[in-house]
Chains A and B, each alone.
Chain A
Amino acid sequence: MTVLLLAEISQGHLVTDHVARALSAVSALGEVDVLIATDQGGADAAAQAAKLRGVRKVLLCEAPCLAHGLAEPVAALVKSVAEGYSHIVAAAATYGKNILPRVAALLDAMVISDVTAIKDGETFERPVYAGNAVQQVVSSDPLKIFTVRTASFQPAPEGGSAPVELVSAPADPNLSTWVEDRIVVTERPELTSAKRVVSGGRGLGSKENFDAIVRLADKIGAAVGASRAAVDLGYAPNDWQVGQTGKIVAPELYVAVGISGAIQHLAGMKDSKIIVAINKDEDAPILKVADYALVGDLFAIVPELSKKL
């Protein structure tokens, strides 16, 4: 079996952590080739991917239409190189989730989203109902196409030296054009790969108060997360949302502050190693999944915690 891994590219750079985790998820299936689609400067991304242990070769395709990862040209490219592979995978981040279902439709295969465990070449586990149930599915498609949940796998280490092969680009389908990216550049660790995450919810009460979460996070080198309520109220940007429809995280430490613990939020963080909940409500559902629960007023607790750490 040979696997084609579509590498995630963001702002022209390889999202190494996601690629490395998807790689380790599938390496038991067979040899893995990594496909990089970009407009220019792909050599750096290719060199980075070539260093990951377990990569057989890197396929690099550079073409103007592949800039910004638009789904139509990237999917057309994946289809054009698909021959001979038994599996096509990508990390289950917005990049892969946008593109792989389209690839699957082009190749008349079903896509299996958010795989959390791979039993064998055709048997996969994935959560459904916001993680309240786990399905084991067997695919009868000759070519299996799926996205893997990065939080469920460790990144593959470096130490490889795979060759890089150039592949030619398909014709530009010319269906959509990129206008602008509004990406927030931050020094903080990235949410889905951070070892520690501090998240705030509606309990924070305002955008200004939410700064206390950011300060606590910075104090312990954590990424910042938020509940949907906090995002909707404008306390936090949308890409901080953790949950069924936001990001899925599984850090060593997850601190939930002023978050009630709705099932949709739990779906995004309940696989964290240690969960701390800070909430004034004795009955908040988040306390049931917390390893350590501190019941009280967050406005007293969070500053004290920041000071003492």
Chain B
Amino acid sequence: MKLLVPVKRVVDYNVKIRVNPDGSGVETSNVKMSMNPFDEIALEEAVRMKEKGVASEIVAVSIGTQQAKETLRTALALGADRAILVDATSDPKQDIEPLSVAKILAKIVAEEKPDLVIAGKQAIDNDMNATGQMLAGLLGWGQATFASAIEISGGSATVTREIDGGLQILKVALPAVITTDLRLNEPRYISLPSIMKAKKKPLEEKTLADLGVDLTPRLRIVHTDEPKQRSAGMRVGSVDELIDKLKNEAGVLS
């Protein structure tokens, strides 16, 4: 079984982001960048499938700038066999919309013919939570989003999904698209030898012209602002004072 794992390069989740005061966006130069945490989980799941003998090959794909090669090297170090960079923009500030990403991935799927695509449920920069579902729609494949457990057998995947109120288990015929939730697994640390080995693994580059996808965005970002800040609160000294404030000042308890 062949697996395709799309990985996005995003501002590291530990970075306290800064919004440019002119409303032009979020400051991304000189900040630490990493693989989107959900994609790390997707890749870890793929590697575990390979270790169990369920999967035979893992292809990681990233769509973005040349810098996304770093993310792909990380993917190779984590255990992907090959990597594909789709060089889609030279502007690191341009975020490529999920619809375009899904269209590009659909082209890659047509070439690579994977049995399963495992994507993250959401990119932690744009917080869209859309690409996997869109890709499944474009391909006419089944989808299982927000996965916290995956089992492959007999040409289908049984997936436990995290939904409001609890869990849903469904069985989806392969090929399919699965998106990962946080509790699916805990990604391993990358060892030094695997970083060295990753340098020898193939990393192929494609251009948009190769794929023939129109990237014209459907959404125009007018401006990006800081969220409303909360005004500073107060310290209370005791439980009695807290209850008094909640009842008589805030009026949220009676």
Contacts and interface: CB of A to CB of B under 8 A. Distances in A.
Interface of A: 10, 68, 70-72, 75, 93-95, 97-106, 108-114, 123, 126-141, 173-184, 192, 196, 220, 228, 231-232, 237-239, 244-245, 247, 252-253, 263-264, 270, 273-276, 287-295, 301, 304-305, 308-309
Contacts of B239: 294, 301, 304-305, 308
A277 to B, nearest CB: 8
Nearest to B95: A128
Contacts, number: 260
Interface of B: 11, 13, 16-17, 19, 26, 97-99, 102, 121-122, 124-138, 140-146, 148, 158, 161-173, 176, 181-183, 217-227, 230, 232-240, 242-243, 245-246, 250, 252-253
Given A75-B137, A110-B97, A309-B243, A138 B219 contact: yes
Given A71-B133, A220-B253, A292 B218 contact: no
Contacts of B240: 308
Contact of B166 (A106, A239, A308): A239
A130 B165 contact: no
A39 B235 CA distance: 53
B98 A110 contact: yes
A57 to B, nearest CB: 27
A132 B19 contact: yes
Contacts of A238: 148, 162, 167, 183
A102 B234 contact: no
A18 to B, nearest CB: 9
A197 to B, nearest CB: 11
Contact of A276 (B19, B124, B131, B242): B242
A289 B124 CA distance: 22
Main secondary structure of the interface of A (DSSP, over half): mixed
Contacts of A220: 253
Given A276-B242, A293-B236, A130 B124 contact: yes
B98 A140 contact: no
Contacts of B121: 245
A109 B233 contact: no
B165 A183 contact: yes
A176 B19 contact: no
Contacts of B233: 275, 287, 289-293
A134 B144 contact: no
